[in-house]
Amino acid sequence: MAFEEKSGNLVGLGLEELENLALSLGQPRYRGRQIYHGIYARRVRAFASLTDLGGDLRDAIASQHAIAYPEIERQFASRDGAVRYLFRLADGNLIETVYMPEEDRTTLCLSSQVGCALECQFCFTALLGSKRNLTAGEIIGQVLAVAAAQNLEREARLNLVFMGMGEPLLNLPQVAKAIAILADPQGVGVSLRHIAVSTVGILPRIEELARAPMRPKLAISLNASNDEQRSALMPINKKYPLADLLRVCRAYPLRSWEHLMFEYVMLDGVNDSDADARRVAALLRDLRAKVNLIPYNSGPDLPFRAPPFERVVAFQKILLDHRIATFIRISRGQDISAACGQLSLEGVRMKSAKVPGHAGGGGQGLEVGQ
């Protein structure tokens, strides 16, 4: 199923796999490391640029393999500097990646799946339904393709957030493989402290992540202040209710520098009252937590709206008064339908009239590493 395997794409292969490839071609193992370094650290796209390999080996590899990134189908530049990329995968599926330049860092919001199975009521990606997991190569490919399109230097400081389309913890093997290469100093070289995985709270997968040797930061989409509200917004809450979620969060082994991040999408008149804020404060009381309040990014096909900004500020103040570090994350790229899912759904809609409509979603504007 992985298009890498079919088309012989090298992007997505780990060091050992590339070493084995070298050995299978009758070459010494270190050739694999040279290819690995070329693809991920030097971000080479043409075999001709792998000059350290020698011509014969280059030709032998090029005859059967490719260094392929997802193709840019469309891109939308926002007035605020964000650029939203709609990528076409080798099988024709569409995914989205958002580029958000900031003063000292650049944040990339990555997709982990095509569509999503979780049916969060406010999310536009949910309207696409569940299609398939991305491969590690398609995840890393988003980073390499945006870096190439934006001429990002190798030294450019990146934040990577898995807050685009899909639920990363339902694709943990490929997400973890991608992160291992993205965070490897000999690979793409993004520090693990600057990679965040956002989840609705798939509890067994959070426990698995807790034991992972290369562990990114964890962000939990809380989005509600009690079970009734959360189950209505996020059906997964019926399987993993708040008490269980918070128990797993309390047991999560935070590193000395780390906070658990909680995202809270603010929906006008739904989850934005003072009482909600007080309940959230009570839920998070005994956790080393940071909260990101995300005013909802609306679109015509879903009935939710962002609250007035004063409401968001009042909600933040209540959490701050309870000594919970709380940030307001203004969604970037509002003028380019920057909520994840929106462009893909439009892409699907262009081909078929059956899809219900305009999509959005996504946690753009979120930051890690602060």
Residues taking part in catalysis: 96, 340
Closer CB to ligand SAH, 60 or 210, in the complex: 210
Q: Of these, 68, 190, 362, 368, which contacts ligand SAH (CB under 6 A)?
A: 362
Closer CB to ligand SAH, 87 or 296, in the complex: 296
Q: Is the dihedral of CA 247, 249, 254, 260 positive or negative?
A: negative
Binding segment (CB under 6 A) for ligand SAH, from list 35-43, 176-184, 274-282, 361-369: 361-369
Q: Binding string, 159-188, against ligand SAH, x = CB under 6 A? A: ----x---x---------------------
Q: Distance from CA of residue 109 to its chain's centroid?
A: 5
Query: Per CB under 6 A, does 360 bind ligand SAH?
Result: yes
Q: Are 288 and 254 in contact (CB under 8 A)?
A: yes
Give the dihedral of Cα atoms 201, 291, 134, 361; nearest 10 deg.
100
How far are the Cα atoms of 2, 90, 219 from residue 8, in angstroms, in the given order?
10, 12, 34
**Exposed/middle/buried for 97, CB within 10 Å: 0-12, 13-18, 19+?**
buried
Shortest Cβ 277–ligand SAH spacing (Å)? 17
CA separation for the pair 356, 300 (Å, rounded): 11
Binders of ligand SAH among residues 218 to 247 (CB under 6 A) are 221, 223
Q: In what order do the strands lie in the sheet with 94-101?
A: 71-77, 83-88, 94-101, 106-109, 158-162, 195-199, 217-221, 260-266, 289-295, 325-328
Shortest Cβ 189–ligand SAH spacing (Å)? 24
Closer CB to ligand SAH, 27 or 331, in the complex: 331
Token pair belonging to 288? 């080393």
User: Which residue number has the CB closest to ligand SAH?
Assistant: 363
Exposure letters 309-321 (e unless 16+ CB within 10 A, then b): eebbeebbebbee
Q: Of these, 294, 345, 348, 355, which contacts ligand SAH (CB under 6 A)?
A: 294
Binding segment (CB under 6 A) for ligand SAH, from list 45-53, 66-74, 246-254, 360-368: 360-368
Binding segment (CB under 6 A) for ligand SAH, from list 19-27, 36-44, 117-125, 172-180: 117-125
CA separation for the pair 345, 356 (Å, rounded): 9
Query: Per CB under 6 A, does 107 bind ligand SAH?
Result: no
CA separation for the pair 96, 75 (Å, rounded): 10
CA separation for the pair 105, 351 (Å, rounded): 37
Binders of ligand SAH among residues 183 to 222 (CB under 6 A) are 198-200, 221
Count the residues of the shown chain that bind ligand SAH, applying the rule CB under 6 A: 21
Q: Of these, 12, 38, 216, 361, which contacts ligand SAH (CB under 6 A)?
A: 361
Q: Of these, 137, 141, 187, 363, which contacts ligand SAH (CB under 6 A)?
A: 363
Q: Of these, 339, 343, 348, 368, which contacts ligand SAH (CB under 6 A)?
A: 339
CA separation for the pair 111, 179 (Å, rounded): 13
Shortest Cβ 322–ligand SAH spacing (Å)? 21
Closer CB to ligand SAH, 10 or 355, in the complex: 355
Query: Per CB under 6 A, does 271 bind ligand SAH?
Result: no
Shortest Cβ 101–ligand SAH spacing (Å)? 20
Beta strands in 200-309 (DSSP E): 217-221, 260-266, 289-295
Q: Are 27 and 86 in contact (CB under 8 A)?
A: no
Shortest Cβ 55–ligand SAH spacing (Å)? 45
The footprint of ligand SAH (CB under 6 A) covers 122-124, 163, 167, 198-200, 221, 223, 263, 265, 294, 296-297, 331, 339, 360-363
